[in-house]
Chains A and B, each alone.
Chain A
Amino acid sequence: MATFFGEVLSVYSRAVEDEEDDNDEDEDILKELDENREVLLQWYDSRHLMPCTNLIIAVGKNAASFVSVYVLSSASWEAVGHASLSNPNPCGPASAEPVCVFYRNKDTPAVIVCKISGYIEEDQQFQWTEKVFGCVQQDGLRVTVLSDGPVAEYKNTDFSCSSSSLFLRCLETKSSTIKPPCPLLEQPNIFTGIPAAVLSHCQVHQIPTVAYQCYSDAISPDSITMETYKLAFTTVGDIKVCPLPSADTIHKLVQTNQIQSNLYI
């Protein structure tokens, strides 16, 4: 595309990048690249299928912090597995940092919480979901997803709602029978990422699932945003939410995530 000043700018499409012409060499390279994009699940228990009636998945800084502070802070949870992602660099070693950890309640072992602290790339989200659900028993399974969403991306014609920068919305699968404690997500908004991958899987496999997204303008964990998730947890059942977590625990979590500015040093 030429501009008024004669320079030529490359034009890009928001929808598509042009396909390269196929050839056989590419297929081998793509296969090798795919092998390096594997999601590695490791269970500390050798059982093939984990018994599970209630699976809670927390993704996003505030959602993950909420489960850390309000749910997992009691002594009745034990880590039962984790997932890590292959290093995207095909020449590098596999990443040692788990991207998510699975916890089981010792008193009610069929309740599992999955806390996702890292980011799972778009091309690995489907695989992560299939592998996790491939490891849990699905009879009587109910799934709850908690996730963060930026309020700047929320579309609504009603400004009295979006002028508040902290609110919950949810989406549920066809087989879900609970009445969510917050409004359903309105058009034209969508969920993406792990909540979308999980909801898609559960819709197709008819697993009752509700995904909650807390829209806020917080870029790091804060106590007010974390508290908003308590409303979503009222429908989970089987799990006690700590009514008053210690101020030290919250402060430590918030401090850890604060960007340390050296502007005035």
Chain B
Amino acid sequence: MFVPEATTPSFKDFTLILPAIAVGNVGQLAVDLMVSTLGMKRVGYMHTDCLVPMVGPNPYSTSAENAGELHTTAEVYTDAEKKLAVLQIRSPIIQSRSRKFRKLLVSWIKASEFSQTVVLSSSHAYQRDDQQLKGTLLRYLVTPAMQKASGAALSELGWMEMEKVSPFPGLVDASAEPRLSIPGGGITKGLFTEGCDEELCLAVVLVFCSEGDNIPDAFTLVNHLNDWLLLVGNDKQGPEKWKIPSSWKLLFGNSHPLSIF
């Protein structure tokens, strides 16, 4: 599945960040901000039949010379200095292959010996229960292996763990066990569950949101992640510390032609 661009890179002890295709595409937007801001270099492709094919010109172009470079559906970028690797996924997972894709991801993560994996995701804001309606929109989940490694750091940050919810909201049933539910999260729950089963050091960081202009949600998520991983210095505040990629223009289509007036 992973095909290197040139020589096979070593990911041993790297932190891997990947998005889940989820409501508002917030994880993918957040990954775009990271790759663009840190000037990360592409080191390979995820070549798989599990994703809808798409290609385009360089979404992180900085000059006319590199604007025409071809980029594909799923690519891996690294920042060797920060020991950071990022997998960007740009198109939907073919529905009948979602389990296969999760398994491919998990086996690649294990084989590459990443020290930890962070899945950036989102969940439908409208499906929050009464408790979740209060306070922060951000949540996290950690596998037992990650809890041992970074649980204390996340507690110190005051992050809120994703609550388990009743399987039948509104119905009082003492026998119904609360369960993990991430509506709109795509493969997030499945990936987290498999991460627990495979003893991966994996965390999920997600934001509750709705479909619309999800750029502010992306900034919220990436700033929250930055509080933990310190990817970008905190000398600049707000959106200025992140560089918006060139691919974000015309996100909602062309504006109206002036010739109609």
Contacts and interface: CB of A to CB of B under 8 A. Distances in A.
Contacts of A163: 257, 259
B251 interface: yes
Interface in B66-94: 67-70, 72-73, 92, 94
B53 A196 contact: yes
A19 B72 contact: no
B141 interface: no
A206 to B, nearest CB: 10
A174 B97 contact: no
A99 to B, nearest CB: 16
A90 B92 CA distance: 24
A159 B104 CA distance: 44
B124 A188 contact: no
Interface in A117-142: 122-123, 125-127, 129-130
B148 interface: no
Interface string B248-260: 1111011101110
Interface in A170-206: 171-174, 184-193, 195-197, 199-201, 203-204
Contacts, number: 146
Interface residues of B, number: 55
A203 B254 contact: no
A17 B25 contact: no
Interface residues of A, number: 50
B14 interface: no
B246 interface: yes
Interface stretch (B105-113, B185-193, B198-206): B185-193
Interface of A: 1, 11, 13-19, 22, 27, 30, 33-34, 122-123, 125-127, 129-130, 155-157, 159, 162-163, 171-174, 184-193, 195-197, 199-201, 203-204, 211
Interface of B: 3, 21-25, 45, 47-49, 52-59, 61, 67-70, 72-73, 92, 94-99, 124, 126, 183-187, 189-190, 210-211, 246-251, 253-255, 257-259
